[in-house]
Amino acid sequence: MTQTTQFLVSHGQLVIFLVVFLEQAGLPLPALPFLLSAGALSATGKFNPLLGIGVTVLACVVANTLWFYLGRYRGTQMLGLLCRLSLEPDSCVRRTQNVFTRYGLRGLLISKFVPGLNTVAAPLAGMARVHISRFLFVDAIGSLLYGACFIVIGYFFSNQIGQIVAAITHIGGSALSLMVGLIIFYIAYKYWQRQRLLSELRMTRITVAELRQKLDDGENPIILDLRSGGELKLNSSVIRGAVHVEMDKIEAWSRTMAHDRDIIVYCSCPNEVTSARFALLLKRNGFARIRPLLGGIDAWQKQKYPTEQYVAAS
């Protein structure tokens, strides 16, 4: 019996609650192995599957409710925190916003099965002013599907899970150490890649005060809003005169634009990841006068500089 299964046998439902709660709270602690192990133990009569599913639902709802209220009252700060913590800060938030915009609360049912997305979906629901009763109802259903799915899979595939655990145990600690080392290497590589991307444009960024001064002086730079459609639904204000460009239309847009104008790009992630990637792409296509806006739309609005409501083209 492995340490995981032994721990589940000894402490049962408390372990499931803590692991699921910490995962839903955003910590990089996968609950999947524990849920599968709980299902496998259920097949041997050493774990109560119905109680395990109930505890999973409780842990999910408690953690997600906390995120929901943080999103409602501290939405911008919470998304900023998630941007800084995530290895793929911008893409994680962007994917979830698009899912939430397209499917509404039904997106919560999908996000339960994708690590990271669920943590972002709950504060987005709070920011969207969803009623708490609707959120709790849908979140409870998603949590029920999440817990039941993996515990049932563990139950019906208990023999296979046991064989996998036995094989890993037989391989020994050296193989496990190699796997851990590869995971650490991957995380370190992604972090280095992210920092290199940001550092390439750090010296060329423009502050909101500098941009405001340019506009007051009569300069006419091209200002591009790079936020996703989901982000614009949550915050439809854009810098006055800005043009919204979807990421999948960058290539087509760049072919129609003159190369001799200043281009200011901004997004909503505090690290300007989208802006940095967009700027690098345009630089490769011959645009030399391009600068990401430091702090993005949030910094601009914080200074109460002029904005206008975005109107989608019909």
Per-residue 3-state assignment (H helix, E strand, C coil) for 218-265: CCCCEEEECCCHHHHHHCCEEECCCEECCHHHHHHHHCCCCCCCCEEE
Instruction: Specify the pLDDT at position 187.
Output: 65
Chain centroid offset of residue 193 CA? 18
Report angle CA 50, 28, 18 to the nearest 5 degrees. Answer: 35
How buried is 48 (Cβ within 10 angstroms: 0-12 exposed, 13-18 middle, 19+ buried)? middle
Q: pLDDT 10s digit of each residue in the chain, 314 long?
A: 455 556 556 677 888 899 899 888 877 777 888 888 888 888 888 888 899 999 999 999 999 999 898 888 876 666 666 655 554 545 555 555 666 666 667 777 877 887 667 777 888 788 778 889 999 999 999 999 999 999 998 888 877 666 655 554 555 555 556 656 766 776 677 667 666 655 665 557 788 999 999 999 989 898 988 887 767 777 788 999 898 887 667 767 777 777 778 888 887 765 556 676 677 677 767 777 888 888 888 889 889 999 998 876 55
Angstrom distance (rounded) from CA 285 to CA 280: 9
Instruction: Specify the pLDDT at position 89.
Output: 47
Angstrom distance (rounded) from CA 83 to CA 157: 37
CA distances from 265 to 183, 200, 211, 219, 232 (A): 34, 15, 11, 16, 15
- Is residue 303 within 8 A of residue 208, CB to CB? The reply is yes
CA distances from 104 to 72, 96, 101, 110, 268 (A): 16, 11, 6, 11, 21
First to last CA, the chain: 62
Instruction: Specify the pLDDT at position 176.
Output: 55
Domain ranges across the chain: 3-172, 201-309
Q: Which two tokens stand for residue 136?
A: 């709790």
Angstrom distance (rounded) from CA 126 to CA 98: 16
Angstrom distance (rounded) from CA 224 to CA 261: 13
Q: Which two tokens stand for residue 310?
A: 């975005």
Angstrom distance (rounded) from CA 68 to CA 74: 10
- Is residue 105 within 8 A of residue 68, CB to CB? The reply is no
- Is residue 242 within 8 A of residue 305, CB to CB? The reply is no
Looking at CATH, the fold of the domain delimited by 201-309 is given as Oxidized Rhodanese; domain 1 (3.40.250)
Task: List the helix and strand counts (H, then E) for the chain.
Answer: 15, 6
Angstrom distance (rounded) from CA 96 to CA 169: 37
Q: Which two tokens stand for residue 121?
A: 């979906």
Angstrom distance (rounded) from CA 53 to CA 15: 13
Q: Which two tokens stand for residue 7?
A: 């721990």
Q: Which H or E element spans position 199?
A: helix 173-202
Q: Which H or E element spans position 37?
A: helix 32-43
